Structure 1
Amino acid sequence: MLRGIDTAASGMIALQRRQEALTNNLANIETPGYKKVDSTLRAFPEMLLERINDSKNSPNPPGYSWIGSMQLGVYAQENISSFLQGDLVSTDNPLDVAIDDRALPLQNGQKPSVFFAVQNAAGEVRYTRNGRFTVDEGGQIRTTEGNLLLNQAGQSISASADLAGGEVSINPKGEIILFPDDPAKRQVLDQIGLVLINNPNDLIKEGNGTFRLEGDTPALLAELPAGVTLHHKTIEKSNVDPTMTMTSMMENVRLYEANQKVLQAYDRSLELLNSIGRV
């Protein structure tokens, strides 16, 4: 009976963690470049049951007879980010840029992805798909979370009084242009840094739409690879499907309630057993 309680409890814990992932997806549905997280559930290894001290004439090893197997419940194995392309939406912000890499060919059965290279407050390189950038008071381009946008050399974009004035744009090649509307002053200031991750599943989610990669740091791209385009004044929406997410959340609640009823049944049985023992 206690094993049944453990099985139902493990199911409730796993479903709770899955619900947390779904809730986080729904909360970030309007976050540009957000990649949804899928929580995978896995069953514990089965336990083989046998009865000892049985007849020695059993066809199985002497003294044993097989009963069968017993499931020991489930657990939330891991949360896996989905790197499917989100919808592209036009904006009026000259610093908005979206990556479209849907045409990239598969490599060893895996779909590569391209990311912006940014630097966090600790000076560490991180990767993001959020192409909504702003200019700070020092004239440096940052993400909405405050991370510095890196150039092709892996350096933050140099501060400039002109840049601080807001007369800056990013063209489809990823070039950062000063005075884009004035041919006499127009100049290429720098070029944003992009990286190609052959297996995005190697990335580790850190929050705020950023990822890190253990081991060797991938080289920054010298030019856009075939099958990758940048869209100016555009952002990539999150790839969360609100309808499917809400459906999964309701299904998750029903499964949680089913496990809860199993626990309540065991609780009533144990209460009855205790009352009989007292008599």
Structure 2
Amino acid sequence: MIRGLYSAASGMLVAQSQVDATANNLANVDTSGFKRAVLQVESAPVLDLYRYQVEPGQVQGHGTRGVPAREHVGVLGLGAQVYDTPTSFEQGALQKTGDPLDLALTGPGFFRVATPAGDRYTRDGGFARNPQGMLVTQAGQPVLSATGAPIVLAQGPFSVDGDGTVRQSGAPVGQLSIVRFNSLRNLRPQGDNLFVDEGAGAAPDTATAVQQGYLEKSTVNVVRSMVDLISAERFFDANSKAVTLEDQALGLAVQSVGSVR
């Protein structure tokens, strides 16, 4: 009976995690370059069950449960648990803006930006130009060049080639640092639409193209996310009712045992 409480409670925790992940996805449906999170669920660790008995000729003392028999009688499942919440890095659709500061990536690469905590990576190419002329993110982090230095622009128009080369008056002033990773599972979201690499590091990427005047749209599908949200809420309610029923049954069992004369 107690096992039922644990199983239902674990289901509620999984459902709550699904609601949290889906709500965060929906909150970023209009965030450029945002990549949706996907909840991965697995069975909770099972417990092995063994039969306990008193061997022939053994005197059972007070409180003794006997000695474990050699026979394995089964396993006890404890519901489900969240395994991971990885990011899905599929390519987003491109939206034309006409703004020269808007840059979109087509391919697996990422922009590299500088933060006080070290280099971070993003697909959000909605950049700006700060008072010092540096190309920065909307949060003010400098966008880095292939040499690791910030991209600094003079007054006036500029253009960006497909390989990330930044030009003013036809002359190159730098090249955007576009990098890729052998394993995207090592990238973890860090806020401000940035990712940190927890793996072996980034490598220059020549397969990804830059398109000026475009932004990559969020990969969140509103309809699918709403369906996921409703399903998670119903799953939570079902497990909540199961907890209530288990609690009522446990209360009746305690009352029945207590009333035995």
Q: TM exceeds 0.5? A: yes
- Residue 244 of structure 1 deviates from its aligned partner by 1.3
Task: Say if 1:53 and 1:64, in contact at 8 Å, map to a contact too.
Answer: no
Once the two structures are superposed, the pairs formed by residues 94-243 of structure 1 within 5 Å of their partners are 94-101=100-107, 113-120=108-115, 122=116, 124-158=118-152, 162-163=154-155, 167-178=157-168, 185-221=169-205, 224-225=206-207, 228-243=208-223
Counterpart in 2 of 1:110?
Answer: none
Where 1:38 maps in the other structure, the secondary structure is: coil
Provide the C-alpha distance between the structure 2 equivalents of 1:173 and 1:23, rounded to a whole number of angstroms.
36
What code does the residue aligned with 2:146 have?
Q
Runs of 5+ consecutive residues of structure 2 not aligned to the other structure? 57-67
Structure 2 residue 85 is matched with structure 1 residue 82: no
What code does the residue aligned with 1:100 have?
T
Runs of 5+ consecutive residues of structure 1 not aligned to the other structure? 57-61, 102-112, 179-184
Structure 2 residue 75 is matched with structure 1 residue 69: yes
Counterpart in 2 of 1:16?
Answer: 16
1:90-130, CA deviations, whole angstroms, 9 ceiling, x for partnerless residues? 112111111111xxxxxxxxxxx21101111x161111100
Task: Say if 2:159 and 2:167, in contact at 8 Å, map to a contact too.
Answer: yes
TM-score by length of 1: 0.81
Provide the C-alpha distance between the structure 1 equivalents of 2:69 and 2:203, rounded to a whole number of angstroms.
64
Task: Say if 2:164 and 2:209, in contact at 8 Å, map to a contact too.
Answer: no
Provide the C-alpha distance between the structure 1 equivalents of 2:236 and 2:117, rounded to a whole number of angstroms.
43
Once the two structures are superposed, the pairs formed by residues 15-54 of structure 1 within 5 Å of their partners are 15-53=15-53
Distance 1:68 1:214, change over 3 A: closer
Provide the C-alpha distance between the structure 1 equivalents of 2:233 and 2:52, rounded to a whole number of angstroms.
41
Higher alpha-carbon deviation: 233-242 or 67-76? 67-76
Provide the C-alpha distance between the structure 2 equivalents of 1:148 and 1:90, rounded to a whole number of angstroms.
23
- Residue 54 of structure 1 deviates from its aligned partner by 8.2
